Amino acid sequence: MPVFQQGALNTTALIVPDLYVQIVPPQSLLLNGVPTDVLGIVGTASWGPVGEPVIVGNMSDYASSFGAVMARKYDMGTQVATAVQQGAANFRCVRVTDGTDTAAALSVLNGVTFTAIYTGSLGNELAVTFSAGSAASSWRLTVALPGLSPEVFDNITGAGAVLWENLMNAVNNGNGVLRGPSQLVVANAGAMTATPIAGTFGFSSGIPGTDGAGNLSAATLVGSDTLPRQGMYALSGQGCEIALLADADDPTQWSVQTEFGLAEGVYMILTGPTGDNIANAVTVKAEAGIDSYAAKLMFGDWVYWSDQANAITRLVSPQGFVAGRLANLSPEQSSLNKPLYGVIGTQKSGQPGGGTATTYTSADLGVLLGAGIDVIANPQPGGNFWGVRGGHNSSSNAATNGDNYTRLTNYIAYTLSAGMGVYVGQLVNATLFQNIRSTLMAFLNGLLSQGILGSTDGSLPFAVVCDTSNNPQSRTALGYVQADVQVRYQAINEKFIVNVQGGQTVQVSVQTLPASS
């Protein structure tokens, strides 16, 4: 009574009389959507790996991985902080440097040299402490960095050079099941044979670590697509739906970001230079040649923001606010008329109490939005609050220039890319056609039931064809199978018109409603 996996047995060529059991795997015709809240951010930091995407969920995670928010241009922490204020909570952060970054180092008694595991100025706050170990005639080494749990390497034994060698091995390899290698420093033993001295030794007295943030440019943040990938290209394959390069206001780098967005299905949030004017912004955008739904260009009217970490009010780019708000919205939604939090003012409007109260006129907004440039402004159609004024990307096509088009298109496309590959390699027959159509219809019906898709008249806003009508024998014989999917998105109410007729001579038609029972 043999047991086989389905497909492993030719059931038309059996000879031996017996019971043959085939295990049929459960069939799933369902697709689960890809996440739409993953926000990729590239910028500088005072700690952490360079060129490696790191998952961050909040500011505590960010501080543990990259250090504090720094009051400087191209700072990654600033963009994370402003996005977190909008509700974003799923980041992929990539640190970049200008190549001059160094790791802090400290030589203790010429017996061992400790080097910070990452480059950056935060390593200057490291400290190592020698003290008596728990076991007799042993030593304990504690490695500490403010804001992180100290690492304790206990019961290190030996004498002379052997002790220093054992200490180095404990730091680099761990000294027990519960104490693995250090995540803060690496150690190198020297030629010292003397006994350690109990006490704390701060890295501030050693070789300082530097951030490598003094000579950056937007091109540095863009990085390279050669392995190992650097900068923006490190976000490849990370599932980001939205991404930004912190303060990358160089127009010559906008087109390459747009290309990356198209290739990876990422909505790239760009920014113009601080203090820009409308005429220049329109000219520069046209010269840069970006006209694509893959990028959203924010006008260079930078935002006044209260930097709690540094206790100052700073001018920061609008990218983090906009990207964070979009990441906290369902993909069918627009950023138009949605409140932004943490905005104190902008360069055009000024800070509260600053004596400036300039707002954008309809003409100003018409020029900006007509050119495919969005802006943070106050008031909004819904009231006196800060928000994104257009909800548009950089495309000049009215059918594709909404935030909702970019995000919903990428969501649907990459969900299908992630889930429909299970049908490759299967036999082409009526069952395959039926299963493909059922999977697509189930996914789209799910979007409909959740309000992501809809229609004004209640009709079905999608259609799927996968049968012999679009898969003739001449194509399937060559191994091709085609599914044609049509999806109609819900439009965004951008121009709300209310017609009011008033006057003494107006004839009002009164409609009498039936009394409720």
- pLDDT, tens digit (0-9, with 9 covering 90-100), for 449-497: 999 999 999 999 999 999 999 999 999 999 999 999 999 999 999 999 9
Please state, in angstroms and rounded to a whole number, the distance separating the CA atoms of residues 73 and 417. Answer: 37
Report which of residues 176 and 422 the model is more confident about: 422
Q: Any idea what the Cα angle at residue 280 is, between residues 79 and 241, rounded to 5°?
A: 35
Residue 253 pLDDT class (50, 70, 90 cuts): very high
Q: Which of 4-18, 35-49, 80-94, 410-424 has the lowest mean pLDDT?
A: 4-18
Note the pLDDT of residue 3: 83
| pLDDT digits 0-9 by tens, 433-453 | 999 999 999 999 999 999 999
Residue 29 has pLDDT above 90, yes or no: no
Q: What does the pLDDT look like over 344-375, one tens digit per residue?
A: 999 998 776 665 567 899 999 999 999 999 99
pLDDT at 35 over 80: yes
pLDDT of 511 reads 75
Residue 166 DSSP SS3: helix
Average pLDDT over the chain, rounded to an integer: 93
Mean pLDDT in residue range 118-147: 95
Residues of the chain above pLDDT 70, percent = 97
* Cβ–Cβ under 8 Å, residues 360 and 123: no
Least confident residue range of 8-17, 265-274, 490-499:
8-17
Residues 135-148 have a mean pLDDT of 93
pLDDT band at 12 (very low <50, low <70, confident <90, very high): confident
Per-position DSSP letters for 79-147, written without gaps between them: HHHHHHTTT---EEEEE---S--B--EEEETTTEEEEESS-SGGGGG-EEEEEE-SSTT-EEEEEE-TT
pLDDT: is 110 or 184 the higher one?
184
DSSP string, 329-369: S-TT--SBT-B-SSEEEETTTB-TTSS------HHHHHHHH
Report the side by side order of strands in the sheet with 127-132: 151-156, 139-144, 127-132, 199-202
Predicted pLDDT at 185: 97
- Find the mean pLDDT for residues 231-242: 97
For residue 517, what pLDDT is reported?
Answer: 57
Contacts of 139 (CB under 8 A, 6+ apart): 130, 131, 132, 133, 156, 157, 163, 167, 196
In this predicted model, what pLDDT tens digit does every residue of 92-114 receive, in sequence order?
A: 999 999 999 999 999 987 778 99
Domains of the chain and any CATH numbers? 39-98+219-404 (3.40.50.11780), 105-205 (2.60.40.4290)
- What mean pLDDT is predicted for residues 325-332? 97
Q: Read off the pLDDT band of 340 (50, 70, 90).
A: very high
Give dist(CA 206, CA 111) in Å, integer.
14
The stretch 24-46 carries a mean pLDDT of: 89
DSSP secondary structure, 267-327, as one string: EEEEEPPTT--HHHHHHHHHHHT---TTEEEEPS--EEEEETTTTEEEEE-SHHHHHHHHH
Residue from 123, 174, 492, 142 nearest 337 by CA: 492
Indicate if the pLDDT at residue 4 is higher than 90: no
- Residue 23 is predicted with a pLDDT of 80
Q: Are strands 343-346 and 312-316 parallel, antiparallel or unpaired?
A: unpaired
Q: Picking from 47-51, 124-128, 147-151, 463-467, which range would have the lowest pLDDT averaged per residue? A: 147-151
